[in-house]
Chains A and B, each alone.
Chain A
Amino acid sequence: MLTLRRATRVLQVLNTTQKCEQSFHRWLGPTLRELKRRKDSQGPEKPAHRKTFLEWNYDTEIYAFSKRLGEEFNNDLLQQALTERSYIIREEERQKNVGIEQPTLNLSDNKELVSKGSDFIDDIVKRYLRTVLPRLPEEGIIGIHKHLTSIQTLSHVSFHIGTSDLILCADFPVEKLTLSNVLKSIIAALIESSGNSRAALFVRDFIITQLADKDLHQFWEPDEPIKLLSEILARDGIQSPEPRLIGCSGKNTILACFRVGLYTPDDKQMIGLGFGETVDIAHEMAARDSLRKLFGTSDNILLPFNLKLDQLCASSARNLSVTEWSQKTIPAHPSHFELRQAKEICSN
């Protein structure tokens, strides 16, 4: 920073002075160059933990953390949630090295809280998905749930609510697994300090919202859509759909495009539409399209993220599996689930 400032000053001086005399010392340039060379030879600077800085007060940080989230935590529980087993082991070893034979730390690690929080997140996320996507087969629900509770997603959330500086653990920079474990244990701490309902809203606001702006089909897509579609229709007593070529452009060229529609043989209704560079691909895309329509996951659906607590936690029954999915056995919308919010968004 200092060198940059000096360099800009040198440039300014060069631009403005028209005199023959130099207004800065002859040694300045060579010195800066030498300093830079020495700094470069040391290699990149090692990252330092924020707690090694002078302006660091752990209690202040913990207080700001809970206020930032808008939650009331029990202080001891929050402290426990942020303490990893690796930290306790390292501190005990450190005390032994100094000569203390029976080290006492008065710290407990977050192992129990992690498993409790993990179960709670699984439960709430599944309930939410089953409420919002009642027609999606259970395989799809599991796929989306797997993404939302993956280490990748949870560590992202954990980092962005500011846990990375506060975690007491041996590894630095903090590993992703540690970050996601700490998020789970924070949720468990919240259950014990403010109750299940606050924790459920916490999961809704921070974890479930990660689904916004994402393509749902990347998490689960059937392998053989044509076969699956005819199986599902057969369960409803509809013969397997007949594909028709309804558009074709640029045939026998590199930019060929075929458009295939799927029609029910009995009442000639179009149930799916797809296009592709060959007829086979277009047929498969049409089958995927009609499956999406059946499962209620078209590209333009809006997931309501502002569900109230009773709606969020009401649905606990599993969705139908792909092997038994049929339009007849699909339950009607549960009475508690009002898509009012979603409709309001649509009409606006």
Chain B
Amino acid sequence: MSSNRFTPRGFPRVPLQNGIGRYICQLKRITLRFCKSSGSSRGIRDFIETDLINFAQDHPGTALYLKPRRHKSPSFVAEYLNGEREVISCHNFTAQQTIKWLNLYTTRSGIPLMRYAKMWHTECPSIQGVWSPFTNKDPALNITQFPSEMLSKPVWEEKSATEELIEMINKQKISDENDDNTQKVQAAQL
């Protein structure tokens, strides 16, 4: 879902600073639409018979409506405090599935699904303040005398080919000497 190129992109948001003060369930209204006779509405009818009262008691802040419609595929409409409205098809759902989907939509904020550009967002100015060329600068620079020889050098110097060759020859010499030494020791032991 999140890889869908048509999903809008955005930052995680919360409506009305919800949770800083007190939490309000953002689902304001829910309408269950079902058929009284067709088989595809079986699960939602079971849900209405068994768990509807519990659901309504658990969510007193949500207005709940039942809307029987003859020979129509079942669905429910979730309306949120921010004015968003979502229709979810419940075709051939079991009662358990209906409960799970209802639970998902009661706990949502109502802001449409989006691809998160970052998993956090703030509108506060950053803690270290606006960046300037002097931010996080080494305090030792305050007392350095310029021009400084150390600071004028390049940060990363690569070895030249000649230097690398000399180094390799030196290494070889050392290993040759080592070999000679080991041979001498072996001869002495014999």
Contacts and interface: CB of A to CB of B under 8 A. Distances in A.
Interface of A: 54-55, 57, 60-61, 63-65, 67-70, 156-157, 159-162, 164, 204-206, 208-210, 212-215, 247, 249-250, 257, 259, 275, 299-300, 305
Interface in B64-82: 64-65, 67, 81-82
B154 interface: no
B22 A70 contact: yes
Contact of B20 (A64, A156, A212): A212
Given A64-B60, A68-B61, A160-B15, A209 B21 contact: yes
Contact of B16 (A65, A70, A160, A214): A160
Contacts of A63: 60, 63
A54 B64 CA distance: 13
A205 B18 CA distance: 9
Contact of A275 (B24, B31, B83, B132): B132
Given A64-B62, A161-B81, A213 B134 contact: no
Nearest to B127: A300
Contact of B122 (A64, A160, A213, A250): A213
A67 B60 contact: yes
A157 B61 contact: no
- Counting contact residues on chain B (CB < 8 A from A), the size range is 20 to 34
B125 A215 contact: yes
Given A209-B21, A212-B17, A212-B20, A55 B31 contact: yes
Interface in B122-154: 122-125, 127, 129, 132-134
A259 B28 contact: no
A57 B63 contact: yes
B20 A214 contact: no
B22 A259 contact: no
A205 B123 contact: no
21 contacts: A57-B63, A60-B63, A63-B60, A64-B28, A64-B63, A68-B25, A68-B28, A69-B61, A70-B24, A157-B16, A159-B83, A206-B21, A206-B22, A209-B20, A210-B17, A212-B17, A212-B20, A213-B17, A247-B133, A259-B132, A305-B21
A255 B15 CA distance: 40
Contacts of A214: 123
Contacts of A205: 21-22
A234 B81 CA distance: 53
A60 B64 CA distance: 8
A208 B83 CA distance: 23
Nearest to A205: B21
Interface of B: 15-17, 20-22, 24-25, 28-29, 31, 60-65, 67, 81-83, 122-125, 127, 129, 132-134
Given A60-B63, A68-B61, A70-B22, A299 B127 contact: yes
A203 B109 CA distance: 22
A59 B17 CA distance: 28
B129 A209 contact: no
Given A70-B24, A209-B21, A213-B124, 20 more contacts: A55-B65, A63-B63, A64-B29, A67-B60, A67-B61, A68-B25, A68-B28, A156-B16, A160-B81, A161-B81, A162-B28, A205-B22, A206-B21, A210-B17, A213-B17, A247-B133, A257-B132, A259-B132, A275-B134, A305-B21
Contacts of B62: 64, 68
A190 to B, nearest CB: 14
B67 A55 contact: yes
Given A162-B81, A206-B21, A305-B21, A213 B16 contact: no
Nearest to B66: A55
Contacts of B133: 247, 249-250, 257
A208 B67 CA distance: 40
Contacts of A69: 24, 61
Contacts of A57: 63, 65
* B15, B16, B25, most chain A CB atoms within 10 A: B16
B50 to A, nearest CB: 22
Contacts of A210: 17
A156 B60 CA distance: 23
Contacts of A160: 15-16, 81-82
Contact of B134 (A55, A60, A259): A259
A12 to B, nearest CB: 17
Contacts of B81: 160-162
B123 A213 contact: yes
Given A160-B15, A206-B16, A61 B21 contact: no
Contacts of A159: 83
A220 to B, nearest CB: 16
A38 B134 CA distance: 64
A215 B24 CA distance: 25
